[in-house]
Amino acid sequence: MDELVTMRSNDPDYPMKEYAVEIVKGITEKQAEIDEIISTYSEGWTLDRMPAVDRSLLEIGTWEMLFNDEVPDKVAIDEAVSLARQFSTDDSPGFVSGLLSRILDVKPTLI
C-alpha cells in the first residue's frame, strides 16, 4: 500500500490529495481493529459479503469517527452515506448509515 501511495503522490498529472494519503495510512495502521469493529456491529453481514464500496466506506467512516478528531462524527457518517448513494447499491445508504450510527453509539466504549 505504501508503494502505491508514494507512486500516486508523486504523479504530476494526478497526485493524491494530502487527506486521501492520511486516510489510506490511517486505515492501513488500524485495519485489523477497524475490521473487527465493523464485523462486530454489522449483525449478520461478514466483511466478505459486503459490497467492496460499502466495506471501504465503512472503513473510512469508522476510522474518521474513532481515530481522526478533525472530522465531526456526523460529517463522517453523512459523507459515507452520500458516497454510498452515488456509488453503491440502492440498499447501501441505509446499511452504511445504520452501521456507522451503531458504531457511533458505542464509540465511548471503543476508544
Q: What domains sit in the chain, N to C, each tagged with a CATH number?
A: 28-110 (1.10.940.10)
Residue 7 has pLDDT above 70, yes or no: no
Give which of 17, 29, 87, 26 is closest to 55, Cα–Cα: 87
Q: What is the mean pLDDT of the chain?
A: 90
Angle among Cα 57, 94, 1 to the nearest 5 degrees reads: 10
Q: What is the mean predicted confidence (pLDDT) over 40-45?
A: 90
The pTM (predicted TM-score) of the whole model is 0.88
CA-CA distance, 48 to 92, in Å (whole number)? Answer: 15
What count of Cα atoms within 13 Å lies in the side-chain half-sphere of residue 1?
Answer: 11
User: Would you place residue 1 in the very low, low, confident or very high pLDDT band (cuts 50, 70, 90)?
Assistant: low
Q: What pLDDT is attached to residue 55?
A: 96
What pLDDT does residue 97 have? 98
Q: Which three cell numbers stand for residue 94?
A: 441505509
- In percent, the amount of the chain with pLDDT more than 90 equals 75
pLDDT tens digits along 49-87: 999 999 999 999 999 999 999 999 999 999 999 999 999
Measure Cα distances from 14 to 20, 24, 53 in Å: 12, 16, 22
